[in-house]
Structure 1
Amino acid sequence: MPLSKQYLKSKPECKVTFCVAAKDAKSVEVAGDFNGWKTTKLKKFKNGNFKAQLNLPVEHEYQFRYIVDGQWVNETQADAYKWNDFASTDNSVVIV
């Protein structure tokens, strides 16, 4: 379950769950358009997955990347990828 979405009925938001399987990692964070490219830490679970949930306004697409032990990594099952001239690589995209 790398990336999942749950649309809320009560407001125009989507609960996005970011999940990274990184059993040997010490820390995983996510940064993107939705948090001004500041990092949000993902919580590590006993099964080796790191997870965080964020409520994002709907009808938008957001670029993001993970930071696994200091290394920038893309979501393997992102909705799309967009080129980032600053980093000279693709960013993951989630569309809600």
Structure 2
Amino acid sequence: MINKRFFKTKDEVEVTFELSTTQVRESVSIVADFSGWQPMAMKKVNKSNSYKFKTRLPKDNHFEFRYLIDGHLWVNDPNADKYQSNGFGSDNGLVSTFHNLELN
């Protein structure tokens, strides 16, 4: 799940990424172009099988991302705005920070 909060007075969007899964033994990270493709740990939500990561991203842009479970299993968000080939034989999720969801 991806939730976006647009601010009227700021040129950024608060984006919350949430992954629900039962496949985790140790950790879940988000790996994205906005982090230089470095894994960033996601926080486990108490009493559920979900993990969250919140960040602020510049408005009017697109960002690629994937989730990494236990350091070896790559997973896409089924609620990504779009998917894009990553050159490794699979797709990355794409999140848009355009207010009207322009994906061209």
Letter in 2 for 1:41: A
Q: Which moved more, 1:76-85 or 1:21-30?
A: 21-30
* Structure 2: runs of 5 or more not aligned: 98-104
SS in 2 for 1:38: coil
SS in 2 for 1:62: strand
Structure of greater Rg: 2
CA RMSD of aligned residues (A): 1.1
Superposed counterparts of 1:47-66, under 5 Å: 47-66=48-67
User: Which structure has more strand as a fraction of its residues?
Assistant: 1
Of the three residues 74, 80, 83, the one matched with 1:81 is 83
2:91 is aligned to 90
SS in 1 for 2:79: coil
SS in 1 for 2:34: helix
What is the CA–CA distance in structure 2 between the aligned matches of 1:54 and 1:43, rounded to whole Å? Answer: 13
SS in 2 for 1:91: strand
- TM, length-normalised to structure 1: 0.91
What is the CA–CA distance in structure 1 between the aligned matches of 2:91 and 2:78, rounded to whole Å? Answer: 12
How many pairs align? Answer: 94
Superposed counterparts of 1:28-39, under 5 Å: 28-39=28-39
Q: Which moved more, 1:18-27 or 1:45-54?
A: 18-27
* Structure 1: runs of 5 or more not aligned: none
Percentage identity across aligned positions?
35
Instruction: Find runs of 4+ consecutive structure 1 residues off by over 6 angstroms.
Output: none
